[in-house]
Every structure is written in C-alpha cells, then in structure tokens.
C-alpha cells in the first residue's frame, strides 16, 4: 500500500485505511498483531480518522 512508516498508517487512521487500494483484512491482522506485540495497538484505535466520511 506504499507506507514507509507506522506513523503514516497511524495518521491515516483505520477508517480511511480500510479503503486504501491493496488493503486486506489479512494485512490488518498482521498490523494489529505487530502493534499489540509492542503494546501500541491503542495508537491505531485512537485515530479512526478525524474526517472520515
């Protein structure tokens, strides 16, 4: 999907993330597992996306 950093993903938020070209729930599961491993899952949950429509 072209992300270079976790910060780019966090800034986008999960609301917009699921609509990105190339998104799969398998990818989301891997991201969630990684964030959970490092106790960072709250960062993704905290930003569903500020202006998601």
pLDDT digits (tens, 9 = 90+) for 1-53: 899 999 999 888 888 999 999 999 999 999 999 999 999 988 887 766 645 44
36, part of any domain: yes
Predicted pLDDT at 24? 97
51, part of any domain: no
1, part of any domain: no
Query: From CA 51, how far away is CA 48, in angstroms rounded?
Result: 9
- Taking a C-beta distance cutoff of 8 angstroms, is the pair 44, 14 a contact? yes
Total domain count, the chain: 1
Predicted pLDDT at 43? 86
53, part of any domain: no
Domain of residue 34, residue span:
6-45
Predicted pLDDT at 49? 63
- Taking a C-beta distance cutoff of 8 angstroms, is the pair 32, 6 a contact? no
Predicted pLDDT at 53? 45
Predicted pLDDT at 5? 95
10, part of any domain: yes
Predicted TM-score (pTM) of this structure: 0.76
């Amino acid at each position: 999907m072209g992300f270079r950093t976790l910060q780019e993903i966090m800034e986008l938020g999960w609301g917009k993330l699921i609509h990105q070209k190339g998104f799969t729930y398998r990818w989301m599961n891997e991201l969630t597992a990684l964030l959970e491993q490092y106790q960072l899952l709250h960062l993704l949950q905290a930003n569903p996306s500020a202006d998601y429509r």
